[in-house]
């Protein structure tokens, strides 16, 4: 197996194969599900808008792939009641994993309690029913101090993953932000997972995040239960590397 194929095989089960396009159609989502069934294996999850959760669940029935969706996305508002309603509907439709956008505007404005209430509302609905990934939107938070504060909101609430970005803003995943997040996760005992998302399109870019997580938390920590990469374009590179003839 070539080095590229070996890396692709390592990354595939860590991938949240994502389609969050404003023009997604039922046909496009069905095609995504078909593409996900590579001979070499499957991604960890498929992440789509809530209206496509049921379609993915039906298409991937029995495959062992998680169905993920987004809440409070991408605006990151601070209406806790709305967050709870969206979460209940998503779980009722069959979502296994909820990717919640932190009410980051509230945090930036110094309204930390409002940000925390939104996360707590989602955590309460998810409890025992779905995993919760908290999207910090680190590129908008900007400063290391705000990123650390956002991490601590999530860790205190008991979220299952801290996630970098929505992929819908100017600055998405960065290694600098990921370093802060992973250090906060490590300080909390490594019980919370980490997800890099937003702008990750190459095997090399993904490998950099894997290496960073391994350095902070150990090689054995980097499993689908604790480490994810959210991407769409990266999947194309993974599939191509796995399909390439051995040298």
Tell whether omega for the bond before 41 is within 30 degrees of 0, i.e. cis: no
| Active-site entry in 66, 96, 160, 163 | 163
Say whether 71 sits in a helix, a strand or coil: strand
Q: Could you confirm whether 163 is annotated as catalytic?
A: yes
Q: Could you confirm whether 99 is annotated as catalytic?
A: yes
| Active-site entry in 16, 96, 99, 160 | 99
| Distance separating alpha carbons of residues 16 and 139, to the nearest angstrom | 20
| Distance separating alpha carbons of residues 66 and 61, to the nearest angstrom | 10
- Let me know if 93 is exposed, middle or buried by CB neighbors in 10 A (0-12, 13-18, 19+): middle
Task: Give the Cβ contact number of residue 187 at 10 Å.
Answer: 12
Say which residues have a Cβ less than 8 Å from residue 143's Cβ, sequence separation at least 6: none
| Distance separating alpha carbons of residues 16 and 81, to the nearest angstrom | 27
Q: Could you confirm whether 133 is annotated as catalytic?
A: no
CA distances from residue 5 to 16, 29, 38, 245 in whole angstroms, order as listed: 19, 26, 13, 10
The set of catalytic residues is 99, 163, 195
């Amino acid at each position: 197996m070539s080095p590229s194929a070996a890396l692709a095989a390592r990354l595939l089960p860590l991938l949240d194969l994502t389609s969050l396009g404003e023009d997604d159609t039922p046909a496009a989502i069905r095609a995504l599900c078909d593409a996900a069934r590579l001979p070499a294996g499957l991604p960890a999850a498929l992440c789509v808008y809530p209206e496509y959760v049921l379609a993915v669940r039906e298409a991937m029935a029995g495959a062992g792939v998680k169905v993920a969706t987004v809440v409070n996305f991408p605006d990151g508002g601070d209406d806790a009641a709305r967050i709870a309603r969206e979460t209940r509907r998503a779980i009722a439709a069959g979502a296994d994993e909820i990717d919640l956008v932190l009410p980051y505007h509230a945090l930036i404005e110094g309204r930390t309690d409002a940000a925390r209430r939104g996360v707590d509302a989602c955590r309460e609905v998810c409890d025992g029913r779905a995993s919760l990934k908290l999207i910090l939107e680190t590129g908008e938070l900007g400063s290391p101090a705000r990123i650390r504060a956002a991490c601590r909101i999530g860790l205190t609430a008991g979220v299952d993953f801290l996630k970098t970005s929505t992929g819908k803003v100017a600055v998405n995943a960065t290694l600098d932000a990921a370093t802060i997040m992973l250090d906060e996760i490590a300080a909390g005992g490594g019980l919370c997972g980490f997800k890099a998302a937003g702008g990750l399109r190459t095997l090399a870019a993904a490998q950099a995040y894997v290496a960073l997580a391994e350095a902070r938390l150990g090689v054995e920590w980097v499993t689908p239960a604790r480490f994810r990469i959210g991407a769409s374009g990266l999947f194309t590179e993974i599939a191509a590397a796995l399909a390439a003839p051995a040298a």
